Structure 1
């Protein structure tokens, strides 16, 4: 097995243009991540026909080769041995990859680098909120009543679960601050503190701002004759993103100019104090308004043109994953969840898109005579159903193109159905089949029908295409 693996790795190196074409390489849980000197030298077809490779694609300035969990570490170790390329950190490879990116790609990548590290906390919170939904949602097990209405001894359990689950969303600015300030080159700890400043309990909660504004009871500070709203930014994304950037740049500016002997007394306190005032006086009010405008735009669009909105997002989500653009919509999901709507209609489409990609892969498993493709389609289909679509999308569907298109069609049809029925998710959870636990319980039936659509339509379309077109797979 070791000899076969080594041979496969040598074939990978040859297919990507040889070791001289490798600028830097690292790996994640499932993929090798290359920064290449010239991506045009890659032989994509040859690469995807290597036994150990499940798929390959270029994104965000990197060329990524899907290997699979566990196996990727062995392949990476052998690759560094046979090429002589030194092991690189993810930061070094990202830095090398940025040389191949334009300004927009760098912006999208920046958002991904900020939100991806905090996703485990958000997804975990989503799963726990799903458990809370089961305990507190009416009409699941009992008509007109919830589990805790009938079994009151579970009430306190549900309350504790809700506190644990909602913490990540209540203190979302602190999570964003940690990740964003680190991304911008500052101290992550200061980012956490800045995030907590914006949700301090002495401030009027952002959730109560609407009612307070209507009744004219918004508390204010008076700074040299200027009235500043004394409000927090619970669940807000844009205020913390901009504040993090400003905080990091001020910290860097001061660090370069303040003598080491007094840096502890000046740099961190100065950066926090200046950013704090700017956050409450300028950054917060402006970005809060911008965030509300963005949220209102999506809400009004989906309210007025629900079928069209669902169709477009259902059609475009999977292609956006290929380019990395889907990361930009995480901020919109957070805004929607923390708006008066108290839920997102975008994330359920993501979950259904994952299922559709898995269904198309399963169809390929049934239709193909190639034993390797059967095995890959089975494992990647299961993975997609559980929310991880990379093996199915890049290893099977995009490779043959028509399964990818069939999956998009199924996803779009299901997206139209669930958006017309107003399906909302309480949070961002695990995509795929487990995603139903993040859906408000009153929409479970509609979402389940959407799941059925994404299972049947891509499978049937993909299978019929192979048989009617007599595709050799």
Structure 2
């Protein structure tokens, strides 16, 4: 049955205080993000009662309505059709900062705004890696009368193009997104990113493994390509946008088309290769080493800690910064050890929400908790967290315990994904190798732990009644 997205959009606008209370609207993968004039006149209960709305919350000057993937795009289009003003996430960040947003939250949002647009490409690449890993297994090849040694070299080359391109040109993607986010010309970001991985430069991986020598400028500045690097490209994109905007204000209009891009790229290629690249590549190495140290703690301790706090990180919004770490892991090693632990913590919140749905006698709570649990099983936890678990507190805590158990087992089994950004049930596509049974086992145990703890110790209808009485 088709949904009336126009009606849903109209109801959301009305519950938010009407179009006169809305400054601008944007959206991310799952949420409608609205900058409002007056938070107090918003009718929260009416917002959450709207069809397809899975929850809502207010943070950093934004009222965020949780709708889910796919749905949010359609509702957003209908909201704009009502005559409201759309805005980029960067514009929303600037507006939100006027509402008391601190520097740390702004920095985390910036990381999210830059990396989220390139995630679909990395998801596709991870899936290509998973599929290649599956079809190249001897048992699968045997079904077609083939062996690894008889597979066509041309076919292997095709799979290599599918799996390697995004990471070989990763700085291009990051530079483009950063420049676009900070208000520069995206095409200059693309060119700068390509300069960072130009084939004339020694490949960074070869230099690190002493298979090639770096270039030397002034006798002491080592220069190499930054294939697979993330942070240098991010900082370079930021600086390019700032320099370009600074130059446009000062270069005469008649010369702007010629001088501004020329000077911007000239300045940035020197800064990127000789200053930004060496410094922030080293920072990148330290960050990756710190995460690997945590996850590598003996006896599964690192996985236990990270699995236990992962969804707390999601609630604070800091999880967007972890994209940097996962992207760098995949670029450096081809594997992602964060993903399986994140999956365990996500599926645990699904288990907690499912326990609430099974145990409650309230039809309204059931109607919210069941879809939220399904959404979390598909990797989107916001409906389960904000709509169910965090409302009653204890289910959220039980979900954290389930995530800790799953993270512990994931570390013990040494699970590692071929990609990123898909988790829980869809995440199985990143483990289409001999890890698959263990991945499934970890997720089943995580979900069962959270479900049982919530069912027996984490929820009762008295909690719901107490919450409603408190609101009343």
TM-score range (shorter-chain normalised) is: 0.7 to 0.9
- Alignment map for 1:115-194 (pairs within 5 Å): 115-137=115-137, 149=147, 152-153=150-151, 156-194=154-192
Query: Is the contact between residue 5 and residue 75 of structure 2 (CA under 8 Å) also seen in structure 1?
Result: no
Corresponding residue to 1:313 among 306, 329, 332: 306
Alignment correspondent of 1:63: 63
**1: CA distance between counterparts of 2:198 and 2:448?**
49
Task: Give the Cα–Cα distance (whole angstroms) in 2 for the partners of residues 436 and 111 of structure 1.
Answer: 27
Q: Corresponding residue for 1:465?
A: 457
In the alignment, which residue of structure 2 is the partner of 1:450? 442
Question: Residue 219 of structure 1 corresponds to which residue in structure 2?
Answer: 214
1:438 to 1:45, Cα distance in 2 relative to 1, 3 A: same
**In 1, Cα distance between the equivalents of 2:405 and 2:25?**
39
In structure 2, list runs of 5 or more residues that go unmatched. Answer: 466-472
The residue that corresponds to 1:37 in the other structure is 37
Distance 1:196 1:41 in 2: 49
Aligned partner (choices 393, 398, 418) of residue 401 of structure 1: 393
Q: Matched residue of 1:58: which SS?
A: strand
Identify if the C-alpha distance between structure 1 residues 142 and 3 changes in structure 2 by more than 3 Å, giving closer, same or farther: closer
TM-score, length-scaled by structure 2? 0.86
The structural deviation recorded for 1:149 is 2.5
Cα deviation for residue 72 of structure 1 reads 7.7
Q: How far apart are residue 362 of structure 1 and its match?
A: 2.5
Aligned ranges 1:22-421 → 2 under 5 Å? 22-27=22-27, 30-39=30-39, 42=42, 44=44, 47-49=47-49, 53-67=53-67, 69-70=70-71, 73=74, 77=78, 86-91=84-89, 92-100=91-99, 101-137=101-137, 149=147, 152-153=150-151, 156-212=154-210, 217-221=212-216, 223=217, 225-305=218-298, 307-339=300-332, 341-421=333-413
What secondary structure, in the 3-state scheme, does the structure 2 residue paired with 1:247 have? helix
2: CA distance, partners of 1:290 / 1:79? 41
Question: Quick check: 1:236–1:335 contact (8 Å CA) kept in 2?
Answer: yes
SS of alignment partner, residue 98 of structure 2: helix
Q: How many residues align?
A: 461
Counterparts of 2:370 and 2:428 in 1: how far apart (Å)? 22
Asked whether the equivalents of residues 32 and 76 of structure 1 are also in contact (C-alpha less than 8 Å), the reply is: no
Q: 1:106 to 1:141 in 2, by over 3 A?
A: same
Task: Give the whole-Å Cα distance in 2 for the aligned partners of 1:71 and 1:175.
Answer: 24
Query: What do you get for the CA RMSD once the two structures are aligned?
Result: 3.4
Rounded Cα–Cα distance in structure 1 between residues aligned with 2:399 and 2:462 = 19
Alpha-carbon distance in structure 2 between the residues aligned to 1:211 and 1:55: 49
Instruction: Show CA shifts across 1:450-470 (max 9, x none).
Output: 111122112222222367786
Deviates more, 1:124-133 or 1:156-165: 156-165
The offset of 1:284, in angstroms, is 1.0
Gaps of 5+ in 1: none
Post-superposition offset of 1:295: 1.5
State the 1:31 CA deviation. 3.5
Q: How far does residue 299 in structure 1 lie from its aligned partner after superposition?
A: 1.8
Distance 1:237 1:409, change over 3 A: same
CA 1:6–1:243 in 2, change beyond 3 Å: closer, same or farther? Answer: closer
Tell me the CA shift for residue 131 of structure 1. Answer: 0.5
8 Å CA contact 1:115–1:176 kept in 2: the answer is yes
Q: Secondary structure at the match of 1:326?
A: helix
Structure 1 residues 163 and 236: CA distance shift in structure 2, 3 A: same
